Amino acid sequence: MTEPDTAARQRHAGLVIEITEHNHRYHVLDSPIISDAEYDALMRELRGLEDTYPELRTPDSPTQKVGDVISTDFAPVEHLERLLSLDNAFSAEELDAWAARTERLAGPDAVVGPYLCELKIDGLAVALVYRDGALVRAATRGDGVTGEDITPNIRTIAAAPARLAGSGWPRVLEVRGEVYMPVAAFHELNERQAEAGKPLYVNPRNTAAGSLRQKDPRVTATRSLSLIMHGLAVPGAGAESMPAPDDDAVPDDVPTTQSGWYERLREWGLPVSDVYRVVDTLDEVGEYIGYYAEHRHDPPYEIDGVVIKLDRLEMQRALGATSRAPRWAIAYKYPPEEVTTRLLDIRVNVGRTGRVTPFAVMEPVKVSGSTVDRATLHNADELARKGVLIGDMVVLRKAGDVIPEVVAPVTDLRSGTEHAFEFPTACPECGTTLVRDTGEDGKVSVDWRCPNARSCPAQLRERLFHLASRGALDIEVLGYEAAIALLDCGLVADEGDVFALTAEKLATCPFFVNKQGTLTVNAANLLLNLDEARHRPLWRILVALSIRHIGPTAARALAAAFGSVDAIVAATPEQLVAVDDVGPTIAASLRDWFTVDWHAAIVDKWRAAGVELAQDGWVAPVAAPDDGEPSAAGPLAGVTVVITGTLDGMTRDEAAEAVQRRGGKVTGSVSKKTDFVVAGANPGSKHDRALALGVPVLDEAGLGVLLDRGSAAAGDYAS
């Protein structure tokens, strides 16, 4: 598992603060200061950091909070059918992968096309309910289940008919679409704001959203909002799915395609896009995407991509949806912006395993909607390859949700004042000469490292912070500042001393003492946290030791296979490599780590302090008689599970521990040998791979069936 350096931690903390503030300004104050695209870019960057460094992900992160905040000024209402999100593609390859996935799911003889292409309007999602042809309710998307009642404000939009035209509409109909402010209307509004000496609005999307949430509909009526519909649902027809011909609620001549329904909506007086296109091939889909990539400012509204849907409703129903998105549709997001900015400096960070990483400090610049002033330079070799000089104008790229990177210098703009960065030969924190590792194959690593693992201040800080993270011992009070204080006050020489902390020792450190000279609440809580951490599962202990290459997946496998630290230390290389998810590199790293005397001393200190170094209730693996594969005793013996996404009732770690206590095995990747994939919210690619391989997928209720009733019952549930 890659460890976060100081730059990553600082960027993550800044993003959390920034996004939380934007949420408050948008949902509570109705005065957003960034566009929806900029907000999405911030969220993608935050998710990218947390995917790269899972230990940064905490329950109070904006990525872990589902749905929009519901204002108390607007009544919450439930949608008739759940509004799902769309999965995104950021490249032609990802779009091709989606198309291939739809073909696999549809079956070898099925024809998935044609495809409907439409512009992805950068607006506010809404749902309008018509009963007997009359508009009775309008709501924001909210969390997909519950939105805010904005009916009076929607009624001010001329494009939203108060009564449907024509005839043949269902008795109850819920239509979905996007409210937007035309670009021309936005500029006119800002001209009026400027003339009146009032603050200008940031962008059309957030201005439209704020206009819809005005308490006085008369204000909304002045904002020139418009509306385009892109979907509908009849109660009982299924979330985000057009009604089927045999639905009693709809007429007999119900359309059989998405485009057919668009024309039906148009006949009923509802606004539908006039630039959607139905095509037969993916090449034509690519042409549509390419055209609007070059003409994205031609439409009267802002767009941020193209939505591709399977046009035939029969195929939509056959593919269905995941817990969050339909499988028959995807949003293609246009490529990220590339901008130029001034490279002010190049600095390095030292991580917990000693890796020294260079990063760029730049003049702040907006790229892909977010302001960036830091970017990765990866390593010394990559820095040399790019030939970047301090003072250069550089091309900065932010691709999707990954960390920004410096692509290249703009050499034609050099003035001669630029100068090269000299990669340090000594650790900037402790002065130790840096080294490069050499692998068993004789290749020299691209990474420079500080070998002073025992006393380098940077590595000590990062290891203490890692030890306390949610992915390790979950010591909530031991944050970054507390870790620094423990080191500065000399209370810990290394992580071995953490569990020897007492109230008397903490009382000698100003950080843990209040103005009255008594211990702070945090100090008392730290001691309580340490008592709890003494009894964490074995795999968490292994992660907390900061052994290179030992992340949660390998740690769980080792704990399940050996049951104690002592057994792992005594294991031969052959025994270690025989464990799934433990290869030669991990095995060598383990054995090397435990041969270092001060590492062994850490384990001894923890043992003496009462840390449980053996897995409670562990049962030694036994050989299965049929195939010789090891399987632990228990009701889930021989069952392999992958857990992905966010669960409501427990964390993924808790779910994994529950499976393992019953003898099951939890791995980090999906293969044909996987028995079940448990998919929570936002499951990602592991869910898709499970579907492609035909691996049974369980939701959280299905996990409960697996834990309570075993694999056979879970198999019936999944099918």
Q: Which of 120, 386, 398, 665 is catalytic?
A: 120
Beta bridge partners of 375: 360
Q: What is the gyration radius of the CA atoms in the chain, in angstroms? A: 29
CA gap 356, 11 in Å, rounded: 17
Q: How many CA atoms lie within 13 A of 288 on its CB side?
A: 22
DSSP string, 392-455: -EEEEE--TTSPPEEEEE-GGG--S--B-----SB-TTT-PBPEEEE-TTSPEEEEEE---TTT
Query: Using H for helix, E for strand and C for coil, what is the string for 496-541?
Result: HHHHHCCHHHHCCCHHHECCCCCECHHHHHHHHHHHHHCCCCHHHH
Return phi, psi of residue 273, to 5°.
-60, 140
8 Å CB contact between 683 and 323: yes
CA gap 8, 56 in Å, rounded: 9
120 annotated active-site: yes
Quote the Cα angle for 189-193-197, to 5°: 170
CA gap 495, 464 in Å, rounded: 6
Q: Which two tokens stand for residue 19?
A: 């996004």
Q: Collect all residues with Cβ–Cβ distance below 8 Å to 657 and sequence separation of at least 6.
A: 537
Helix (H, G, I), strand (E, B) or coil at 709: helix
The residue written with tokens 């790293």 in the block is 589
CA gap 66, 369 in Å, rounded: 22
Q: Does the bond joining 683 to the residue before it have cis omega, within 30 degrees of 0?
A: no
Beta bridge partners of 395: 340, 408
Residues that are catalytic = 120
